[in-house]
């Protein structure tokens, strides 16, 4: 894991700070700086306002940080109104405009850095072709979610999916067609699952899903429904395809070893391939799993609960 510098810890903390908490902190800090500025006008609190705007722009971004810049510009101009009565309204207006430009520019620049950071952070976590989570991020998030499910006694469904005869698409229609099929497949997966579910490309034409399900019985229905809906979408595309699917139901009280669970789901998908493809094999993590050697040439039924 990359080690962060102190400034990196601050930047990361501000970026992930909940929006409500960030807004509350900004209001408190502005009030404190403004009070000190009015009480000690000759000390000069401008640098603290700049730090505040930088933090607000990094934490909130966009419009919110620009509004804060306007508020700060007004607050820093007000002491001149009460303590320099001889200044004309024109000079005060110029003072205000200068502060608006300076503070607003800082807010815009930091917000643009934040957008660049968001874009690069997104790209670092996503498969560049399909937009699904890349395999490293999928494994990392899946491991954390599986551990959390164990603590909360939740049931999970881990799914491995593989396109059938995908190499034939590349051979017949070219790699551009194959790339289009992968993007369509990833989009179809994202369309039929919930926002909180994990969708990842694990390599080649193999994808993974991790979902919370209410129970083992409902999880089995979820798995069959996912495959049925995927098949409907895939067969309607420009290059009709089918997919093989291995689904692993993970009850609350089972091993939390991610590698073992991924292997079990992969074995279920392997059985689906040997069942004649375009099939679903469903297994339970709390039951013994057969290995590759036990399959032989016998093809199991199209939808089978192990």
Q: From the CB of residue 16, how many other CB atoms can be counted at a distance below 10 Å?
A: 9
Q: In the chain, what percentage of residues exceed pLDDT 70? A: 88
91 in any annotated domain? yes
Task: Please report, for residues 74, 103, 197, 221, 259, the alpha-carbon distance to residue 142 in angstroms, rounded to integers and kept in the order given.
Answer: 48, 42, 10, 21, 11
State which of 81, 97, 125 marks the end of a domain. Answer: 125
The answer to whether residues 71 and 114 belong to one domain is yes
Phi, psi (rounded to 5 degrees) for 133:
-60, 140
The answer to whether residues 237 and 149 belong to one domain is yes
The answer to whether residues 180 and 287 belong to one domain is yes
The answer to whether residues 142 and 287 belong to one domain is yes
196 in any annotated domain? yes
The answer to whether residues 298 and 151 belong to one domain is yes
pLDDT tens for each residue of 168-218: 888 888 888 888 889 988 988 888 888 899 999 998 899 999 999 999 999
CATH code of the domain containing 165: 3.30.70.270
Q: What is the pLDDT of residue 80?
A: 60
Phi, psi (rounded to 5 degrees) for 201:
-95, 120
1 in any annotated domain? no
Q: What is the pLDDT of residue 254?
A: 79
209 in any annotated domain? yes
The answer to whether residues 12 and 61 belong to one domain is yes
pLDDT tens for each residue of 87-146: 667 787 888 899 899 999 999 999 999 999 888 888 888 988 898 999 999 999 999 999
The better pLDDT of the pair 41, 136 is held by 136
Cα(181)–Cα(200) distance, integer angstroms: 16
130 in any annotated domain? no
The answer to whether residues 121 and 184 belong to one domain is no
The answer to whether residues 105 and 150 belong to one domain is no
pLDDT tens for each residue of 218-236: 999 999 999 999 988 888 8
181 in any annotated domain? yes
Query: In this structure, are strands 206-213 and 198-203 parallel, antiparallel, or unpaired?
Result: antiparallel
- Quote helix, strand, coil % in the chain, to nearest 5: 60, 15, 25
The answer to whether residues 84 and 152 belong to one domain is no
The answer to whether residues 151 and 90 belong to one domain is no
227 in any annotated domain? yes
The answer to whether residues 244 and 275 belong to one domain is yes
Range of the domain at 55: 6-125
Cβ atoms of 92 and 81 within 8 Å: the answer is: yes
State which of 83, 100, 125 marks the end of a domain. Answer: 125
State which of 73, 106, 125 marks the end of a domain. Answer: 125
The answer to whether residues 94 and 155 belong to one domain is no
71 in any annotated domain? yes
- The domain tally of the chain equals 2
């Amino acid at each position: 894991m990359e080690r962060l510098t102190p400034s990196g810890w601050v930047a990361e903390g501000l970026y992930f700070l909940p929006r409500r908490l960030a807004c509350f902190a900004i209001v408190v800090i502005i009030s404190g700086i403004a009070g000190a500025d009015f009480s000690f006008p000759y000390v000069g609190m401008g640098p603290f306002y700049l730090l505040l705007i930088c933090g607000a722009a990094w934490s909130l971004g966009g419009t919110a940080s620009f509004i804060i810049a306007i508020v700060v510009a007004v607050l820093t101009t007000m002491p001149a109104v009460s303590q320099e009565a001889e200044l004309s309204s024109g000079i005060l207006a110029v003072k205000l405009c200068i502060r608006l430009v300076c503070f607003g520019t800082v807010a815009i620049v930091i917000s643009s850095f934040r957008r660049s950071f968001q874009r690069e952070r997104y790209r670092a976590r996503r498969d560049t072709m399909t937009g699904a989570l890349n395999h490293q991020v999928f494994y990392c998030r899946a491991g954390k979610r599986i551990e959390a499910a164990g603590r909360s006694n939740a049931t999970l469904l881990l799914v491995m999916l593989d396109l059938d005869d995908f190499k034939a698409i590349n051979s017949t229609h070219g790699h551009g067609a194959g790339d289009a099929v992968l993007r369509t497949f990833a989009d179809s997966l994202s369309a039929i699952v919930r926002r909180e579910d994990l969708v990842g490309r694990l390599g080649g034409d193999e994808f993974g899903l991790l979902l919370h399900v209410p129970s083992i019985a409902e999880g089995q229905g979820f798995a069959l429904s996912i495959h049925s809906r995927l098949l409907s979408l895939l067969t309607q595309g420009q290059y009709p395809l089918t997919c093989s699917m291995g689904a692993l139901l993970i009850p609350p009280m089972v091993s939390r070893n991610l590698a073992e669970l991924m292997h079990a789901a992969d074995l279920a998908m392997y059985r689906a391939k040997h069942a004649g493809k375009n099939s679903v094999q469903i297994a339970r993590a709390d039951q013994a799993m057969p290995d590759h050697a036990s399959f032989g040439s016998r093809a199991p039924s199209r939808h089978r609960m192990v």
